[in-house]
Amino acid sequence: MIRALEGLAEADPDVMLVTGDLGFGVLTRFSERFPRQFINAGVAEQNMTGLAVGLALEGKTVFTYSIGNFPTLRCLEQIRNDACYHDANVKIVCVGGGFTYGSLGISHHATEDLAILRALPGITVIAPGDPVEAAAATRAVYRTKGTCYLRLGRGGEPLIHAGEIDFQVGKAIRLAEGTDVAILTTGGILDVARNARERLAVSGLSVGLYSVHTLKPIDRDLVVELAGRVGLIVTLEEHTVIGGLGGAVAEIVARMPNPKARLEIVGLDDCFSSIVGDQEYLRSVYGLTADAVVAKVQALLTARRR
């Protein structure tokens, strides 16, 4: 993401990056190359957002940067009243979506952010699935007018795409097509979805896989198509089951007159994680692994045949 942002800043002097006193090492090269386009606002995320809106209303395209819930929930009022209401070109970057910072506890577990940000009028919400999508998403939010939320992992996520991709805001990426099951996923858990899909395919099922990197506006055409032709849609997200990808898909399917597909939402139940541990461990605790997805799909299909 940061390399893509450097390219944008080099081409456009109105691109600015404002950090909440985080990202040292990651942002050092940017700050050295573009000192007049970089501001450290300190541990003051509400001020950071207000500053970004002021700059945006003067013609800048401003990226704010912090981890977990700090650039989102901590300054939600400023995002809503200042950025979204004024349709300001503020691009909110969260590093550490889901359980990325799992060992630091619920203050750092970004597991409600997609639902909360998606509810704000006029905002664009994007959660890329791998480094290739992250770079493309950075360039896409730069081109997208108004306030955007870009939810990233922590870096080092598995590379899913081998080369360039056709990244379009509001259009999911089709990694595989299938007729029995469709797995829709968003964010850095894409590798888990891919592994589950491969294992289900080995068992003889025809399984599609779709990276729904944009939650708002969501790819409505894809959801309607899949709900009309497959038996089971499974959404997978490192986020609560309320209001995220699963909720967005459910809103579409519920309005269809006669959908063929059953919808299963896989994510964190309506709870906080009182358990601490690394991301992989917390995924295993809450059923966000390939094993858990495969078992759930097989159980649902078996029950449906009875």
Give the pLDDT confidence of 28-48 residue by residue, as tens digits: 999 999 999 999 999 999 999
pLDDT at 305: 72
CA angle centred on 18, ends 170 and 93, rounded to 5°: 30
Give 75's DSSP letter.
G
pLDDT at 268: 97
Are the C-beta atoms of 238 and 162 separated by less than 8 Å?
no
CA angle centred on 306, ends 185 and 270, rounded to 5°: 40
Are the C-beta atoms of 249 and 235 separated by less than 8 Å?
yes
E-assigned strands of 20-147? 38-40, 61-67, 90-95, 124-126
Q: Quick: pLDDT tens for 215-227.
A: 999 999 999 999 9
Are the C-beta atoms of 237 and 185 separated by less than 8 Å?
yes
CB burial class (10 A; 0-12, 13-18, 19+) of residue 180? middle
pLDDT at 206: 97
pTM of the model: 0.96
Cα diameter, the chain: 66
Kindly list the distances between the CA atom of residue 285 and the CA atoms of 234, 238, 268, 279, in Å, as whole numbers in the listed order: 19, 12, 10, 10
pLDDT at 306: 63
Per-residue pLDDT of the chain (306 residues; tens, 9 = 90+): 889 999 999 999 999 999 999 888 889 999 999 999 999 999 999 999 999 999 999 999 999 999 989 999 999 999 999 999 999 999 999 999 999 999 999 999 999 999 999 999 999 999 999 999 999 999 999 999 999 999 999 877 899 998 889 999 999 999 999 999 999 999 999 999 999 999 999 999 999 999 999 999 999 999 999 999 999 999 999 999 999 999 999 999 999 999 999 999 999 999 999 888 999 999 999 999 999 999 999 999 988 776
d(CA 21, CA 289): 33
Are the C-beta atoms of 38 and 48 separated by less than 8 Å?
no
Q: At what angle do helices 2-11 and 131-143 cross, to 10 degrees?
A: 30
Which amino acid appears at position 48 of this protein?
M
Name all domains of the chain by residue range, CATH numbers in brackets. 2-152 (3.40.50.970), 173-305 (3.40.50.920)
pLDDT at 4: 94
